[in-house]
Amino acid sequence: MTDDIRSEILLHVNGRTHRLSVDNRRTLLDALREGMGHTGPKKGCDRGQCGACTVLLDGRRVVSCLTLAVAADGAEVTTVEGLADDGELRPLQQAFIQLDGFQCGYCTPGQLCSAIGMLAEHAAGWPSAVTADISPDGPAPELDAGEVRERMSGNLCRCGAYPSIVRAVLETASREEVTR
């Protein structure tokens, strides 16, 4: 076994395959931003605490600042740049614009990716910490403002646009859950 400190990896980002040689220390966030020019995911804390770097990894939302690029070898990555369908903004993105779901916009790429991942989790019937009855035999948890706030609590917004973010997510939840 050779203990190389670099690796050759493949990443499928927004439908395009990239072959990269990375230092094993490289995070997925840095690989996306600096290696591949995807500057949508933002570096807020670089410590898993703010959610600005959220991307979808094989369809699930993760923080890319604590994901090693080498550990994502072979995965499908979706960044905010890949959310729109052929240049057509999806309902959630339009709602963020119409309802002022941001001010400075720094947290927005993470909020959008996180919300898309969160809606898929909800559609799959996952409960949250505020779901009153988590029994799998009862009805699936309804999305309301409390549920959205809890499920999106991993995304901080320094501008405090939370009320509009919650509205934008609620407004488009049913449409996003079917178009996905």
Partner 1 sequence: MKEFAYHRPSQIREALTMVVGNEGAQYLGGGTNLVDLMKDGVEMPTRLVDVRHLPLDGVRAAPGGGLVIGATTTNSDAAAHPEVRRRYPALSQAVLAGASGQLRNMATVGGNLLQRTRCAYYADPSQPCNKRSPGSGCSAITGEHHNHAVLGWSDHCVATHPSDMAVALAAFDAVVRYETLDGTHEIPLSEFYLPVGATPQHETVLPSGALITAVSLPKSAVSPRSQYRKVRERASYAFANVSIAAALDVHEGTVRSARIALGGVASCPWRARVAESVLQDGAATADKFRAAADAELSAAKPLRDNGYKVTLARNLIEAVLTELAARTK
Ligand X SMILES: Cc1cc2nc3c(=O)[nH]c(=O)nc-3n(C[C@H](O)[C@H](O)[C@H](O)COP(=O)(O)OP(=O)(O)OC[C@H]3O[C@@H](n4cnc5c(N)ncnc54)[C@H](O)[C@@H]3O)c2cc1C
Contact residues for ligand FES, defined by CB under 6 A = 43-46, 48-53, 63, 65, 102-108, 157-159, 161
Asked whether 36 and 18 are in contact (CB, 8 A), the reply is yes
Residue 119's φ and ψ, nearest 5 degrees, are -65, -35
Pick between residue 98 and residue 153 the one whose CB is nearest to ligand X: 153
Residue 144 burial class via C-beta count within 10 angstroms: exposed 0-12, middle 13-18, buried 19 and up: exposed
Asked whether 77 and 28 are in contact (CB, 8 A), the reply is yes
Sole binder of partner 1 in the list 126, 162, 170, 175 (CB under 8 A): 126
For residues 128 and 179, what is the distance between their CA atoms, to the nearest angstrom? 23
Sequence-distant (≥ 6) Cβ neighbours of residue 80 within 8 angstroms: 40, 41, 108, 109, 110, 112, 113
Pick between residue 56 and residue 168 the one whose CB is nearest to partner 1: 56
- In the complex, the smallest distance separating the C-beta of residue 26 from ligand FES, rounded to whole angstroms, is 14
137 counts as binding partner 1 under rule CB under 8 A = yes
73 counts as binding partner 1 under rule CB under 8 A = yes
> Interface residues for ligand X in 47-106 (CB under 6 A)?
48-49
Helix residue ranges, H only, the chain: 28-30, 91-98, 108-123, 145-151, 162-179
- In the complex, the smallest distance separating the C-beta of residue 6 from ligand FES, rounded to whole angstroms, is 23
Pick between residue 3 and residue 142 the one whose CB is nearest to partner 1: 3
List residues binding partner 1 (CB under 8 A): 1-5, 7, 23-25, 27, 46-48, 51, 54, 60-63, 66-68, 70-71, 73, 114, 117-118, 121, 124-129, 131, 134-137, 149-155
